[in-house]
Structure formats: C-alpha cells, structure tokens
Amino acid sequence: MALPDFASSFEKKQLMNVALLVANALVLLTFIAHTFWGDKEYKILEPVDGSTDHREKWTMGRGAFHIVSADFLLAFIGLTLINFTEYVKEKSLLLTLLALYFFAYGLAFLLTLIISKKFKNSFFRLGQWLLLFTIAGLIYWGIE
C-alpha cells in the first residue's frame, strides 16, 4: 500500500511544480506587457497643452505605473529562484507572500473598477484583476 501514497505524493509534487512554472511564465509575460505595451498605452494620456501641472501629474502617474513593472520583475526573479535553484531556503513563506501580494493587486484593481465610472464590458475589457487572481491562485496551489 505504500506505492499509491508515494505515487500520489509524486503526482502532487509534479502538479505543484507545473503550477509554479506557469505562474513564473505568466509573471514574466505580465512584466513584458506592462513595461512595454502598457507604457505605450499610457503615453496616449501624455498632456499636450504644455501645462506644468498636467505634465507633473502625468509623470508622477507614469512613475507609479512603472513601480508596478518593477514589482512584476522582482516577483519573476523570486519565482525563478524558487523554481530553478536551491538558493531560497524558506520557499513556502516566500510563495505565501507572493500569493497574497498578487491577490492584493487583483483585489485593488477590481475595487478600482467597482468605484470607477462604468463603461461597456469594463470588467472584461480591463481583466487584469482576473490575471492577477490567476497568478495568486497558481502560486498558492504550488506551495508545498
């Protein structure tokens, strides 16, 4: 009877690793999309009137936008270290924090949609919240 326990443990470990690998890939893609395509989209809002006040607020918003890009990059590095090295000793703790972190990001984005003026299909057209919840779930599922 020990063989089925070993087999189920092995299968569970393999599934967890796949979950973390998928999360790792999604975070990398999110970083790339956010940093490059997101910045291109954000530049559409760049003020053209020359007002220093508008320029200052736009630049501050763009900086805050790219702080999130840095967060995605650091999360990608952390997941990569966990997935491909033995460098991280407290993997479960770091994965729990990352899962909570992405869940909080998803919740913040969803709440922003809820309190903002609605437009047609806003929850689907701006589905970043769903991506962030998916990443959080994959990381949580991958915790050993």
Closest CA to 82 of 9, 2, 27: 27
Q: What is the pTM of this model?
A: 0.83
User: Is the dihedral angle over the CA atoms 129, 32, 67, 81 positive or is it negative?
Assistant: positive
Can you give the residue ranges of every domain in the chain? 16-141
Spatial separation of the C-alpha atoms in residues 135 and 76, rounded to whole Å:
11
Each residue's pLDDT expressed in tens, for the chain with a length of 144 residues: 454 454 454 454 555 489 999 999 999 999 999 999 999 988 888 888 877 888 899 899 899 999 999 999 999 999 999 999 889 999 999 999 999 999 999 999 999 999 988 888 888 888 899 999 999 999 999 998
